[in-house]
Chains A and B, each alone.
Chain A
């Protein structure tokens, strides 16, 4: 009897599950990804924070740098400027984009696909392109100079206009998504209850897009306040935080003050990001599986007005890109309007020549390949591993940080971390790998979220079934997960490629003469007064991004036929 009780107690003691080989491999991968994120993100940011509390000799000085910053009007005035620009640009962009998104998702105008395609074009260009274009349109010798009267385009007006152009597609994509989750049954209910169109708008439409709208506002705000390209090109004497970092670091070699400005810029970016994440979580909960998609109905007069609106916006976007394109072919603006390819002869200009373009191609390709592999594999491990919750939670958090870190700040943080004499990783400083690594880190979050969304749609029991069939998880990963997620994987790679082609902010502190990039070359040529060649380089970037996008579309379609045949019934 006693034996029996003892035995029962013994068998009822806590069980320590034995880990399978798959569990070990997954945990090793998770640790690897965690280490990667710590080295490429956390440690650099830490070095930047500590640098902001040091003097030139590296001694700890507490908040002295911050006190100096806030007692120098020329410096802290930029905070006002940055917020002013960001708020005004956000209001304009959101107003224009909401109407545009509303029209595309809720009206019956023709050529919706064309309008959407045009509206997304700015994504393919580096952010300095609108700046250059506005110089030709409204600058001292601009073709439409009279439109802005006595005001100068060099300053807040130019910056705001450029930012609106640059952030429009970002806001549009979020808003279209928000508009298209509408439930038709709610609208049918308003008709049955004889509700006026205006009341319907305020009681159904607006609440429906509320979260999307808030999200779009914060995304645009963050993009504007952290943007460097536009204020650099067209800001004139109007200083903002992002250009201040550049001036402190490149102009005055005052790294400590650069770090301080970075921290100041980091704060609004993190706040905006936190609000956005909070709101996005709510948005998901609004989707119900039983919602019936809304089908727009034609409305003769409104559809005409909407069509004109879309034409105006579309023409403005094409006009801005077209102006830069036209200017790039003009021999010598505005005296010799004959068209030639002179401006494309980059090798005779300062800035790196055509080799910087080839560098960009290489950098973008490496970023797309290695970035996709690292990010997708990392997301898979975080999503599918069993147990190890604490570590997975930490990684999930680390993956969100890059979204909140402005490119300039990340780039500067890399200088402090990788250029430190005691850091053995310093050998990659000034090489191609560091550009690839910083770009992957900079664009990690969106790619990670795309991967997570795709992975969450996979049946969670695939891994279980594999385990019961004694098939190691990596075989299932390669044979099932990767093929099924191929559309998302291609999306990630194209996103990384295009952003690597167009980015300026993160890489501006990290390139060397051997690894100059096309977007940086454009910036430097513009800085040196070679505005037309800068426009030409921007156009090369746009053409490349567009070409890759088209290639991607064809590839996706081809792949779809081959690897996604199972989707067809």
Chain B
């Protein structure tokens, strides 16, 4: 089931076509098209106000799009109200009914479907053990921890075996530690059940660790769709590069033979990036952790001297501020503590660094 999204031959389970959503004169979604495959875990990632929640709510039928279509499992659901669609949903607030016990919350939708109390009881127990809350059925939501409440909400959303699971920032109300633990657990559960899942988040780490595919959004438009690796390694736009991970944006100019000039240094590029050297303003981008120091000498490709202007201690690694070229240009580099010790890197010192050619991204404009 892994990376099913990569397999283009799979039939799309959810199709979003040319969806636009207006709130008065404000356009929250601009002509969005997207396909989600069966069993896939997709994350909508973006800063607040980028339209990710609006898109989720349009898919759920909570705030139906102004134009465009949505189809699920081959059925056009564009104009159906939420109650006639097939999905389970978990909100950031969980929206657990405070006056009902955990078991009643989980079984809330089942009561309408089946008459047999024993059946409901059985299914509720099954769901509770699925999320690891076997003995908590008689408690009220307020008596549970945030993480437990989140799991109750998840069990309730899964109770009707929906075709689509929607998660609206389900982890953002939790402590950092619980969050890390739960995102692993949720991913496991999703993999086991194989339920097609869409999660909205503004936390890139969450998206990178949980998603099969990430949809990065900005100002109501999709910036890039791809696997976490693709998004991180090959950001399609400067926005994606900056929003996911840390990135140095370095002013550069076009050099000879597909090279790029950076502060007087000619750097070679991968073939894929060479093609992008087609505008007036060129940005050469490299992630701080990709800057190499070990085994770098005069002969190393793409290497140059730089002075360490600042060294900021960040626990497991140091972030160095390096001056290069004319001495004005700066670049940030992450060095492990080990490296700093071995190479005797200190503020004011000079080191030779290399920007590996397959780690440089080019963005051109104009």
User: B91, A465: Cβ atoms under 8 Å?
Assistant: yes
Please choose the segment from A233-241, A466-474, A547-555 that sits at the chain B interface, where 4 or more of its residues have CB less than 8 A away.
Answer: A466-474
User: B99, A480: Cβ atoms under 8 Å?
Assistant: yes
Decide yes or no: A12 and B67 within 8 Å by CB, A20-B82, A465-B89, A468-B60 being known contacts: yes
What range describes how many residues of B lie at the interface?
A: 35 or more
User: A469, B80: Cβ atoms under 8 Å?
Assistant: no
Chain A contacts of B109 at CB under 8 A? 468-471
In the complex, whether B5 has a CB less than 8 A from a CB of chain A is no
B81 interface neighbour in A8, A23, A566, A567, Cβ under 8 Å: A23
- Of A20, A468, A471, A565, most B-chain CB atoms within 10 Å: A468
A19 interface neighbour in B18, B81, B142, Cβ under 8 Å: B81
User: B95, A11: Cβ atoms under 8 Å?
Assistant: no
Nearest CB of B to A451, in Å: 17
User: B66, A14: Cβ atoms under 8 Å?
Assistant: yes
User: A15, B18: Cβ atoms under 8 Å?
Assistant: no
Chain B contacts of A565 at CB under 8 A? 140
In the complex, whether A568 has a CB less than 8 A from a CB of chain B is yes
A1-56 at interface with B (beta carbon < 8 Å): 8, 11-23
User: A467, B82: Cβ atoms under 8 Å?
Assistant: yes
- Of B68, B81, B88, B140, most A-chain CB atoms within 10 Å: B81
Nearest CB of B to A22, in Å: 6
A457-486 interface bits toward B, Cβ cutoff 8 Å, 1 = contact, 0 = none? 001011011111111100110011001100
A22 to B109, CA, bound (A): 16
In the complex, whether B232 has a CB less than 8 A from a CB of chain A is no
Decide yes or no: A484 and B99 within 8 Å by CB, A465-B91, A469-B112, A471-B112 being known contacts: yes
A564 to B99, CA, bound (A): 7
Nearest CB of B to A320, in Å: 43
User: A480, B60: Cβ atoms under 8 Å?
Assistant: no
In the complex, whether A569 has a CB less than 8 A from a CB of chain B is yes
Decide yes or no: A461 and B142 within 8 Å by CB, A11-B69, A20-B84, A484-B98 being known contacts: no
A440-468 at interface with B (beta carbon < 8 Å): 459, 461-462, 464-468
Decide yes or no: A459 and B93 within 8 Å by CB, A17-B79, A468-B87 being known contacts: yes
Chain B contacts of A462 at CB under 8 A? 95, 97
The residue of chain B having its C-beta at the shortest distance from the C-beta of A13 within the complex is B67
In the complex, whether B267 has a CB less than 8 A from a CB of chain A is no
Chain B contacts of A12 at CB under 8 A? 18, 20, 31, 67-68
Decide yes or no: A15 and B67 within 8 Å by CB, A469-B109, A569-B143 being known contacts: yes
Chain B contacts of A563 at CB under 8 A? 99
A468 interface neighbour in B79, B89, B112, B113, Cβ under 8 Å: B89
Nearest CB of B to A99, in Å: 40
User: B18, A459: Cβ atoms under 8 Å?
Assistant: no
User: A469, B156: Cβ atoms under 8 Å?
Assistant: yes
Nearest CB of B to A8, in Å: 6
Chain A contacts of B65 at CB under 8 A? 15
A529-569 at interface with B (beta carbon < 8 Å): 563-569
A480 to B104, CA, bound (A): 11
What range describes how many residues of A lie at the interface?
A: 35 or more
In the complex, whether B317 has a CB less than 8 A from a CB of chain A is no
B101-139 at interface with A (beta carbon < 8 Å): 108-109, 111-113
B80 interface neighbour in A13, A18, A566, Cβ under 8 Å: A18
A465 to B62, CA, bound (A): 10
A459 to B61, CA, bound (A): 18
The residue of chain A having its C-beta at the shortest distance from the C-beta of B88 within the complex is A468
Nearest CB of B to A545, in Å: 30
User: B79, A16: Cβ atoms under 8 Å?
Assistant: yes
Nearest CB of A to B84, in Å: 6
User: A470, B99: Cβ atoms under 8 Å?
Assistant: no
User: B81, A18: Cβ atoms under 8 Å?
Assistant: yes
In the complex, whether B365 has a CB less than 8 A from a CB of chain A is no
A11 to B17, CA, bound (A): 8
A566 to B98, CA, bound (A): 6
User: A568, B156: Cβ atoms under 8 Å?
Assistant: no
The residue of chain A having its C-beta at the shortest distance from the C-beta of B85 within the complex is A468
In the complex, whether B167 has a CB less than 8 A from a CB of chain A is no
Decide yes or no: A11 and B18 within 8 Å by CB, A468-B89, A470-B113, A479-B100 being known contacts: yes
The residue of chain B having its C-beta at the shortest distance from the C-beta of A14 within the complex is B67
Chain A contacts of B84 at CB under 8 A? 18, 20
Decide yes or no: A465 and B156 within 8 Å by CB, A15-B68, A480-B99 being known contacts: yes
User: B98, A464: Cβ atoms under 8 Å?
Assistant: no
In the complex, whether B9 has a CB less than 8 A from a CB of chain A is no
Nearest CB of B to A567, in Å: 7
A459 to B143, CA, bound (A): 18
A459 to B89, CA, bound (A): 14
Q: Beyond A15-B78, A461-B95, A465-B89, list 12 extra A-B contacts (CB 8 Å).
A: A15-B69, A16-B79, A17-B79, A18-B81, A22-B83, A462-B97, A464-B89, A471-B108, A480-B98, A566-B100, A568-B142, A568-B143
8 inter-chain pairs at a CB distance below 8 angstroms, sorted by A residue, are: A15-B68, A20-B83, A23-B81, A464-B89, A468-B88, A566-B140, A566-B141, A568-B143
6 pairs of A and B residues whose beta carbons are closest in the complex: A469-B109, A20-B81, A461-B95, A566-B140, A467-B82, A17-B64
Interface residues of B (CB under 8 A from A): 17-18, 20, 31, 60-62, 64-69, 78-85, 87-89, 91, 93, 95, 97-100, 108-109, 111-113, 140-143, 156-157, 159-160, 162
